[in-house]
A and B are shown apart, each in its own frame.
Chain A
Amino acid sequence: MDRSTFLARVRLRLAQTQDAPIPHPPARLSALPAVRYAGGGEPLLAQFLQAASDHGALVRTAHHLGQLTETVSEICDRHKVRTAVVSGDPEANLVRPVLGARGIEVVAAESFAETAEADLGVTGATHAIATTGSVVVDSARAGDRTTSLLPPAHLAVVPASHIVPTPSDLWGDLPRHYPGGLPSQVVFITGPSKSADIEFTLTVGVHGPKSLWIAVLTDR
Chain B
Amino acid sequence: MTHDLLTGTTLRERSRRALANPQLQRTLPTVADALSQRRAQAHSQVENYEDLRDAARWIRGEVIANLPEVLEQLATNVEARGGTVFWAATAQEATDYIAGVAQERGARLAVKSKSMATEEVGLNDVLDAAGVEVVETDLGEWIIQLADQTPSHILAPAIHMTREDVSELFNRISGGDLSSVPADLCAFARDQLRDKFLTADLGISGCNFAVAETGTLVLVTNEGNGRLVTSLPPVHVAVMGMERVVRSWQELDVVMTLLPRAATGQDISVYVNHLTGPKQGAERDGPEELHLVILDNGRSELLGSEFQEMLNCIRCGACLNVCPVYRHIGGHAYGWVYSGPMGAVLTPLLHRAEEAGELSDASTLCGACYEACPVKIPLQDLLLSLRRQRAQDGSGMLQAAWGAWARAWSNPAVYRASNRVVSAAVRLLPDALFPRRWTEGRTVPRRSGGRDLRSRLERGQI
A residues near B, CB below 8 A? 1-3, 5-7, 9-11, 13-17, 19-20, 22-29, 32-33, 35-39, 55, 112-113, 116, 131-132, 134, 139-140, 143-146, 149, 167-168, 171-175, 182-201, 203, 205-209
Interchain CB contact under 8 A, B163 and A200: no
CB neighbours (8 Å) of B300 from chain A are: 9-10, 13
Judged by a CB distance under 8 angstroms, whether B5 is at the interface is no
Known: A116-B194, A206-B139. A193 touches B223 (CB 8 A): yes
Stretch at the interface among B115-123, B282-290, B417-425, B433-441: B282-290
CA distance A113 to B47 in the complex (A): 45
Size band of the B side of the interface? 35 or more
- Interchain Cβ contacts under 8 Å between A and B, 16 examples: A3-B72, A5-B89, A10-B71, A26-B54, A29-B58, A33-B52, A35-B46, A139-B286, A144-B285, A149-B231, A168-B253, A168-B257, A184-B277, A185-B274, A186-B274, A207-B223
Known: A14-B304, A184-B280. A3 touches B85 (CB 8 A): yes
**CB–CB A145/B227 < 8 A:** yes
Q: In the complex, what residues of A have CB within 8 A of residue B101's CB?
A: none
Residue pair A203, B186 in contact (C-beta under 8 Å): yes
Instruction: Check A36 against B46 for contact (C-beta < 8 Å).
Output: yes
Whether B270 contacts A200 by the Cβ 8 Å rule is no
CB-based contact B270/A191 at 8 Å: yes
CB pair B257–A1 under 8 Å, yes or no, is: no
B213: which A residues are within 8 A, CB to CB?
175
Which of A134, A198, A206 interacts with B224 by CB under 8 Å? A206
A171 touches B285 (CB 8 A): no
B185 proximity list for chain A (CB < 8 A):
198
- Please determine whether A139 and B159 come into contact, CB atoms closer than 8 angstroms: no
Nearest-neighbor residue (CB-CB) of B230 within chain A: A185
The answer on a CB contact under 8 Å between A184 and B276 is yes
Q: In the complex the two chains form, is B283's CB within 8 Å of A195's CB?
A: no
A6 to B90: give the CA distance in the assembly, Å: 10
A24 lies within 8 A of B232 (CB): no
A200 near B303 with CB under 8 A, answer no
Whether A145 and B286, one on each chain, are in contact in the complex, defined by CB atoms closer than 8 angstroms, is: yes
Q: Which of A32, A39, A206 makes the CB contact (< 8 A) with B254?
A: A32
Contact between A206 and B61, CB atoms less than 8 A apart? no
Residues in B with CB closer than 8 Å to A27 are 54, 58
The interface residues of chain A lying within 8 Å CB-to-CB of B282 are: 140, 143
Contact A189 B270 (CB under 8 A): yes
Q: Check if A38 sits within 8 Å of B55, measured CB to CB.
A: no
| A207 with B228: CB separation less than 8 A | yes
Residues of A within 8 A of B2 (CB): none
Does B304 lie within 8 Å of A200, measured CB to CB? no
B157 at interface (Cβ–Cβ under 8 A)? yes
Stretch from B27-35, B352-360, B388-396, B454-462 forming part of the interface with A: B27-35
Say whether B285 contacts A190, CB under 8 Å: no
